[in-house]
Amino acid sequence: MDAVLLWFTHHGGTIDASSIGFVDFSNAGRGAVALRDIPENHILFKIPRKLLLSNETSPLPALIGLEQWRARKMHIGWAGLILCMLWEAAKGQESKWAPYLDSLPTTFDTPMFWSEGDLEELRGTSISDLFKLEKLGKADAEKDFHEKVLPLVQSRPDIFLAPTTFYTLQRYHIMGSRILSRSFDVEKNEEDNENEAANTSVGSAMDVDSDHPPTTNEHEETGSDGEAEDDEEDDSIVVSMVPLADMLNARYGSENAKLFYEKYALGMISTKPILAGEQIWNTYGDLPNAELLRRYGHVDLLPLDDQPGELGNPGDVVEIRADLVISAQNLSQEDTKERIDWWLEQGGDDVIVFEWDMVIPPALVALIRLLRLPPDEFAHAVEKDKVPKPKLDLEVLSVVITVLERRLTEYPTTLLDDLKLMEDEGLSINKKHALVVRIGEKRILQGALQKAMEARTAAEAASQVTSERPRKRKAGEETGRNVKTRKR
C-alpha cells in the first residue's frame, strides 16, 4: 500500500492522510477508515485525470492507430480496456501504472472462477438460470478474446513485445474481473465546454445511485453501472480504472462517501459526517446479493428490521421469467408468442421482479390477465393499445400461487434445508455465498406465496358472502304471491 500511495502522490494525487487510512479487513479485503472525525463534504483525496487508466489515457490505441482500433471494434465493450491493461502489465515496471497494477487482486470469489461443483450451488438463483451462465458474461468475454484481442496482438509484434503467450485467456479474465469490480464510468473532460458544471458525480461499479446527491448544490450527479452491452458506445463516457477510489468497500445502505469529478481531477468526498474509526463506504447502488456475488464476489448480511434476529440483504430480489408464467397456466409458447411480442412492444418485460416487500408486482398481474384474455378481447386490447389493468381476482391469484410454487421448485433445496446448511462452520466461502443468495431469494418467494394465499382465502370468503347474501327483488318479480300494481 505504501508503494501505491507514494506513486499516487508522485504523479500529482493528493490525499488527506490525517483523515483517511487504508487497512486490511479479515473478511472484506482492503478498505478505508476514518482516522479522525470527518465532516460532511470533506475532500478525502483527489485523483488527477491523467492517473486514470482507460482507452483515453493509455497510449496503446494511438500506437495501433485510432481508425484501426475502431475498425477492430476495440472501442466497444471492455475488450479495448482489458487489452490496454494487459499491455501495461506486460511492460512491467516500465509501465506508468506499474505500482497500481501490482496492487490489484489476482484471485476473485466471483462465480466466473468457481468450479462446476460450486456452480451447482447456484442452481435456480438469479445468477444461474439452470446453468445458463450467460449472465456471468464468460462466453461473450471469451468470444471477444479470440475474435478481437488475440488477432490484434498477433498482427502487431512491433507493439506487443512480450511473447503472445503472455496474452492468455486466464489473464484476460482476471483483467475483466478487475474492471467489473473496480471500474468507474467517467464523463470525458470537454475542454471547449465553457458552461460545464464545476463538479459532477461519477457513476461507477461502486457508485451507481444517482438519486441522492450531497447536500451542497455544486454537485450534479450522473451515473450508470459501468457495463456496456450495446454495439454503440456512449462517446461521452469512458470506462476507467480509478486508483485509490476503487479501494473503498461498500455495504447496503452504508454509503458515506462518493466520487465526484472536476475538470482535471476526480475527488472522493464525504457525503455525511464520519466518526473516527468508522469505515469509509462507497456504494454499489444497494444491489441484491445475487448481483453483488456475480460482480464483486461478496454478499451483504445485515440485521433485518422486519425479521428480528435474522441477517440478510433488503435489496434482494427474485426474477420470474415470462415462460414460467406461461407454463403455469398450461399455455404453449407457440400460442402465446403474439401476445408476448405485443407485451414487450408495450414496454413490458420478459422478466418480472419480486422485491423484498414481497408484494405481487402489478406487471405480473397484468401479464397473467393478458395471457388469459379471450381472442376477441385480446384483439380489442391491441386495437385500444392498452394492456389489461393489474386487477387481482381469484383466478389471477391462483395463477400467481402456481407461479411462485413452481419457481421454488427450481432450487435443489428448500428454505429449511438451506437454513440448516448455514449452521455448518466448515462451509467453503463459495458455498456460503451461494447459500446466502438462495436463502434471500427463497424468503421473498415464501413471503410472497404466503401473502398470495392469504389474499386468495380472503377473496374466497368475500365471494362466498356475496353468493349467500339475499338478492334484492325487482318489482314484478315472482315471489309466490301476486304483486299489486297501482292504476293511474
Mean pLDDT of the residues in the chain: 85
Bigger pLDDT: 488 vs 271: 271
Question: Taking the domain 318-467, which CATH number applies?
Answer: 3.90.1420.10
Residue with cell 473496480: 182
How would DSSP label each residue in 329-368?
A: TT--HHHHHHHHHHHHHTT--SEEEE-TT-PPPHHHHHHH
Residue 96 — φ and ψ, nearest 5°?
-60, -30
d(CA 363, CA 348): 7
Sign of CA dihedral 426, 431, 437, 442: negative
| Mean pLDDT value of segment 308-337 | 91
Residue range 173-221, pLDDT digits in tens:
999 999 998 999 888 876 534 333 334 444 445 443 333 333 332 223 3
Stated as kind and residue range, the H or E segment containing 320 is strand 318-321
Domain ranges of the chain: 2-290, 318-467
pLDDT digits (tens, 9 = 90+) for 119-135: 999 999 988 754 455 55
pTM for this one? 0.81
CA dist list (Å): 451 to 159, 322, 360, 416, 478: 63, 21, 8, 19, 44
Contact yes or no for 407/320 (Cβ under 8 A): yes
Check whether 477 has a pLDDT greater than 60. no
Q: What is the pLDDT of residue 470?
A: 64
Q: What is the pLDDT of residue 469?
A: 64
Return d(Cα 367, Cα 220) in angstroms, integer: 38
Instruction: Report how far residue 229's alpha carbon sits from residue 78's, in angstroms, rounded to the nearest whole number.
Output: 9
Residue at 329: amino acid letter: Q
Is the predicted pLDDT of residue 290 greater than 90, yes or no?
Answer: yes
Whether pLDDT at 9 is above 60: yes
CA distance 352 to 365: 10
**What would the pLDDT profile of 61-106 be if each residue is shown by its tens digit?**
999 999 999 999 999 989 999 999 999 999 999 999 999 999 999 9
CATH architecture for the domain at 2-290: Alpha-Beta Complex (3.90)
Compute the average pLDDT of residues 455-472: 78
Using one digit for the tens of pLDDT, what is the confidence trace for 414-436? 999 999 999 998 999 999 999 99
